[in-house]
Each structure stands twice: as C-alpha cells, then as structure tokens.
Structure 1
Amino acid sequence: MDRLQTMIDLSIIALSESISKPGNYALILEDVVGKRRIPLIIGTSEAQAIAVAMEKMQPLRPFTHDLFYQTLKQTGIIMKEAVITRVQDEIFYAHIVLLTPVGATLVMDARPSDAIALAVRFDCPLRATLDVVETSGYFIDDKVRDKKGSYAEYTMAELEELLARIIKKEDYESAARVRDAIDKRKG
C-alpha cells in the first residue's frame, strides 16, 4: 500500500475563531494514534454546521448539510467515510465515500469542511492519507520545544520566533505556554 492509500484516522479536537484569519475558524484535527495535529481554516457557515452537529443541536430549519444528510438517508445512501486526500499550496482536498442500497460505492469530491460536517452527521470515520498527515501534521511537543529541551535554552528572539510559528499553526494552547515563558523572562 502506498502513501496515498494508507489512511490515518482523525478526530476533531478543537474549533475556534481564527486569530490569523479573522472572520474564519480554525478546525484542529488530530491523528488518533500518532497525535499529530492538522490545522484547517474554514468558513463561518461550515464551522457552524460542524458545531451544530457535534453538539447534537436541532436548528429550527435545516442547514444545507442537514438537508443533504436527510436526502441521502431517505434514499438509503449512507456515508462510509470522509477522507482528506491531499494538500497543495496550503489548500486541502477531500472526498466522501458513499454506499448505495445496492452496495455500490460512490466517491465524490468535497471541500474538507463539508466532508467533515457530513461525517459528524453520519457518525462515520474521518481520515486523511499518510501523505497529508506527514505534510501538514505536527507534534505539539516538537513545535513547542522545537528540538531544544526547555524554554531556558532559547534566546528571547528565538522564543518570539517560536511564538509566531505556533500562532501561524493556530495552536493556541502551546502559544500561551510560550507567551508565559516570554513574560516570565521579561518580568
């Protein structure tokens, strides 16, 4: 099996407003085994669609993802999985895998945010290719400590550069720890 066929299971670990891209949201996915994190920037409506489904809320009127979900279910089609297939020029690509009542498999291109919104509704696996995870994923400890043992080993300039890189990746928990180290050093 090659890199494009090896699938890595993912889970959603965070959904919050994006600091680096105001008006958008940061969706943080995590490799369930290797614990690498993959940040995606998504639009407001997609973030709302994912959040509503995750919280099992029932809107007064169905959102587009709810309508598509209901249409598929009423025709006997189920969603087998959502797969983030590749990343190119910082743009992620995905597809959804559907199973028809007669056992046929349908594969359809989708934006990752739409695929994830549907996967949450169908309660089906969310996956990425090994190549996507290795290209876009990062280990939280690697980004925080960046090959050094502790913050004391960093110069102030290195700490500030590290903070900027972590914020760009939208890893706010790690950013808070680095910011605290900077404040402690200044104080």
Structure 2
Amino acid sequence: MSLIKLTIKGISYSQTQTGAYALVLSEMDGSRTLPIIIGAFEAQSIAIALEKEIKPPRPLTHDLFKTFSDRFSINIKEVIIHKLVDGVFFSSLICERDGIEETIDTRTSDAIAIAVRFQAPIYTYENILDKAGVYLKLEDELSLDATLSSEEDLELEEIQPQVTSSFSSSSLQELNNQLGTAVSDENYELAAKIRDEISKRS
C-alpha cells in the first residue's frame, strides 16, 4: 500500500476534550486532513519546534532526544502513521545508524514532535485517511466540509485560530522585554502572541 505524505496544517484547542489540542495534518497532494487529539505538553513541544524564533531556556524532552540522536549519529528518516484502532493512532519512527535501519514504535504526538526537529517527512496510508480524514474546502476561511465518524469526531475551533492582539498600547521595547520574560517563564503561547505583534510592526 502506497504512503501519502503529510504536512502540519496547524494546532487548535479541542472543543471535545478539556486540556487537549487537535493537531491537524494535511496531505501534500490533496484536500484531506487528519485531525489527531494530543496533550498540552506535546502541542507545546511541536509549536516550539515550528517557531524558530522561540528558544526555550532549557531543552524539552524532544530536544533532548534530538541532541542524543545527533551525538550518537542516529538519523530519523521518516515517521509513518501506520494504524488506527478505536480512535487511537499508532506510529513508527524509521531510524538509521551506520547504514542499519530500525523501526521504533511511538506515540503519534511524540513522533511528530521529533519529526519536526529532524525535518523528517511524515506519512500515512490511504486506508487511514479514508477512515479518519476530513475534506477541507477553501473559501473566505478554512472550514470543515466533512466530519469524522462518531468514534473519532472532533470539533475544531479553526485550523489556525486568530489571536486578538492586546498589546497595541505597548511600545516595541516593552514588547521585546515582555517576549524575553515570557520565554524565561516558559510561557510559549504568550511568547508567540507577542512575537506576532512585533512582526506586524516590523
């Protein structure tokens, strides 16, 4: 069965599970997306890896995995989401060291967080997209054109939630100071909002 390449479309709050997030993956050559419920820590880890400008003061678990792998010449070639059972996705890391390839079972959220750090491609199979994928149509904004089955039903607020700026009264210097404080406090959601406000003024 052929593999379908996916890319990260966005992360949003899950309306069905308190404290959880929906990681939305999209097929590269099509309109289907694959929403996956993940925990807050994994969502934060993926978001930090995607935001190149935000560097945590201490390495997160997935950063440690990357450092460990680099030190011992282990390369992550790709991630494959290979199974879906009772709404739970199963994934594998395809690793290589000294020309020897190994497959390691992993949670999908961890696999994605690691893939982003290694810039490794993410794949799944056609039957998984058929079972759990949703179709998106592009109009004025992204909206859901189909829903998952009742077992895997997810209600996404948006693919990329719009953030209402509350920093309009702050100067650039104040914003930069607030950004530094937010990163030091490991409040990366706030740091991302401040960074976006700074970028809009640049």
The TM-score bracket by the shorter chain reads 0.7 to 0.9
Measured in 2, the distance between the counterparts of 1:35 and 1:66 equals: 31
1:94 to 82, 91, 94: 91
1:67 to 64, 67, 92: 64
Residues 14 and 143 of structure 1, relative CA distance in 2, 3 Å threshold: closer
Aligned to 1:169: 154
> Superposition pairs for residues 98-113 of structure 1, below 5 Å?
98-100=95-97, 102-113=98-109
Aligned to 1:130: 126
Residues 97 and 22 of structure 1, relative CA distance in 2, 3 Å threshold: same
Residues 143 and 14 of structure 1, relative CA distance in 2, 3 Å threshold: closer
Query: With structure 2 as the length reference, what TM-score do the two structures score?
Result: 0.69
Gaps of 5+ in 1: 147-161, 175-187
Residue 60 of structure 1 aligns to a residue whose secondary structure is coil
Alpha-carbon distance, 1:143 to partner: 5.3
Kept in 2: contact 1:81–1:119 (CA 8 A): yes
Gaps of 5+ in 2: 138-142, 160-202
Residue 97 of structure 1 aligns to a residue whose secondary structure is strand
The answer to whether residue 17 in structure 2 is matched with residue 21 in structure 1 is yes
What is the aligned residue count?
149
Q: Percent same amino acid among aligned pairs?
A: 36
Aligned to 1:34: 30
Measured in 1, the distance between the counterparts of 2:155 and 2:82 equals: 21
Measured in 1, the distance between the counterparts of 2:130 and 2:4 equals: 10
What are the Cα deviations for residues 100-144 of structure 1, in whole angstroms up to 9, with x where unaligned?
Answer: 0x1000100000000000000001101111221111112124953
Kept in 2: contact 1:86–1:131 (CA 8 A): no
RMSD: 2.0
Query: When you count helix as a share of all residues, which structure comes out higher?
Result: 1
